[in-house]
Amino acid sequence: MPRPANDVQAFEAQAQDAELDELRARLAAARLPEAETVQGAAPGPRRWDQGVPLADLVDVVDYWRTGYDWRSFEARLDRIGQFRTTIDSLGIHFLHRPSARADATPLVLTHGWPGSIAEFVHVVEDLADPDDTDAPAFHVVVPSLPGFGYSDKPATTGWGTEKIAAAWVELMGRLGYDRFLAHGGDWGGNITTVLGGRFPEHVLGIHTTFADGPPGLTTEGLTAEERGWAEQTRDFYAGPRGAYAKQQATRPQTIGYSLVDSPVGLLAWILDKFAEWSDTEDSPFETISRDRVLDDVTLYWLTRSGASAARIYYESHASMDPDLRVDVPAAITMYPRDIEKCPRPWAEQRYRQLVRWTTPERGGHFPSLEVPEYFVDDLRAGLAAVLAAQSTWDRN
């Protein structure tokens, strides 16, 4: 098992009691608007037409104030193992759970927005030390993106996806992992694609739930379902549903004041995305518990990272290099209710060695939280296919 380099320091998450008391006081004193004018609509997507319904928000705020236990989440982070290191003058926080298995492969998991390391906390153990000895095992590393969680907040521009990917290579090297696998979704999928395309000497292969084909491809020859995917993705970003991305790409500082100052505002901004992007008919809590959502939101709150996390859109929105190609083996999973789905023929134009393509029956933008058992099994299968292809590639 590799040992961390000297410039990697152990870290413990420990919010002050006064911070948690202040959070509860702010929640108790929250000023809320009147109910939405579509209230009374039957359960279903239309109930959320104007955003988070007042009754739902009041219920979650009350639970956050009186029932949610942040300390249990802190304890789970500490059990996994937390560390920090400095790369390009920026402190990077990460979880590191080495496997007990001698045949384990290093794996970096990268989250997106409005996610965080909380997306992966509850699957790390299964990936590192599976009960099934025939299942692949991994030395799992889960970094917090710059500006997210316990990583430092960049004080200058420049921390886009290309720089983050290079930082991950440096991070994995410091842990003794010169060659490794990578997985990610949302911004993490973008970064994972950059890792595979820019650093094939270090990246054995990738698995992603976010595939981005080169621009300008035609819909000619696509199936009806694939054309539907392309149209849905185009409409998402061109229409009102993509307004959050335009706001954060152009004015992250403006929305950031509300996200850092108001816990209810932060909760509503994030909960809206959990609702709209999950594979549910009405509430995100059909598949994701309130505790899992509040782990994520509370991490944003305590680290005051609402503005700094939003800036990843300013740094990187629509910035994927159109000429970037991924030649290392790649596995891609397109969950049915994700907000962006790429037709396979388009994906194959960027991911040149696509060894596994999966379209599950269930799941949305947050599969590790929505369908965790399937997510782990699918990730294992995808990475096993990647490793098999990489072994053949190395022999040739």
Kindly name the residue from 186, 279, 295, 296 that is annotated as catalytic: 186
| Residue with the larger pLDDT of the pair 198 and 212 | 198
- Smallest Cα–Cα separation from 146: which of 287, 320, 314, 33? 314
Residue 156 domain-assigned (yes or no): yes
Judge whether 1 lies within some domain: no
Q: Which domain holds residue 299?
A: 8-395
Predicted confidence (pLDDT) per residue in 41-82, tens digit: 788 878 999 999 999 999 999 999 999 999 999 999 999 999
In a domain, 272, yes or no: yes
Average pLDDT over residues 299-323: 96
| Confidence grade of residue 318 (pLDDT, cut at 50, 70, 90) | confident
Confidence of residue 2 (pLDDT cuts 50, 70, 90): very low
In a domain, 188, yes or no: yes
The mean pLDDT value for 4-17 works out to 86
Q: Which residue, among 25, 33, 28, 19, has the nearest Cα to 74 in the 3D structure?
A: 19
Examine residue 2 and state whether it is found in any structural domain, yes or no. no
3-state secondary structure 297-364: HHHHHHCCCHHHHHHHHHHHCCCCCCCCCECCCEEEECCCCCCCCCCHHHHHHHECCEEEEECCCCCC
**CATH number, residue 138:** 3.40.50.1820
Query: On the CB side of 326, how many CA atoms lie within 13 Å of its CA?
Result: 35
Q: Is residue 3 in a domain?
A: no
Order of strands across the sheet with 330-333?
Answer: 8-11, 82-87, 90-97, 138-143, 105-110, 180-184, 203-208, 330-333, 354-358
Domain assignment present for residue 316? The answer is: yes
313 is catalytic: yes
The answer, yes or no, to whether residue 3 has pLDDT greater than 60, is no
Instruction: For residue 363, give both structure tokens.
Output: 């799941």
Q: Beta strands of 4-63 (E only): which ranges? A: 8-11
Q: Which of 309, 16, 273, 8 is nearest to 150 (CA)?
A: 309
Q: Does the pLDDT at position 248 exceed 60? A: yes
pLDDT for position 392: 73
Domain total in the chain? 1
Residue 69 CA to its chain's centroid (Å): 22
Closest to 60 (Cα-Cα) out of 248, 244, 243, 274: 274
Q: What is the mean pLDDT of residues 85-100?
A: 98
CA distance 210 to 212: 7
Q: How much is the average pLDDT of 160-171?
A: 98
pLDDT attached to residue 45: 78
Sorting pLDDT into bands at 50, 70 and 90, what band is 1?
Answer: very low
Cα 310 from Cα 151, distance rounded (Å)? 14
Percent of the chain with pLDDT over 90: 91
- Is 50 exceeded by the pLDDT of residue 283? yes
Q: What is the pLDDT of residue 147?
A: 98
HEC per residue, 230-288: HHHHHHHHHCHHHHHHHHHHHCHHHHHHHHHHCHHHHHHHHHHHHHHHCCCCCCHHHCC
- Asked about 186 being catalytic, the answer comes back as yes
Of 68, 177, 244, 313, catalytic: 313
**pLDDT range class, residue 395, cuts 50, 70, 90:** low
Q: For residue 90, is pLDDT > 60?
A: yes
Q: Which of 16-25, 149-158, 209-218 has the lowest mean pLDDT?
A: 209-218
Of the candidates 93, 202, 207, 365, the residue annotated as catalytic is 365
What confidence category does residue 391 fall into, taking pLDDT thresholds of 50, 70 and 90? confident
Query: pLDDT tens for residues 100-153?
Result: 999 999 999 999 999 999 999 999 999 999 999 999 999 999 999 999 999 999
The answer, yes or no, to whether residue 25 has pLDDT greater than 80, is: yes
Domain assignment present for residue 281? The answer is: yes
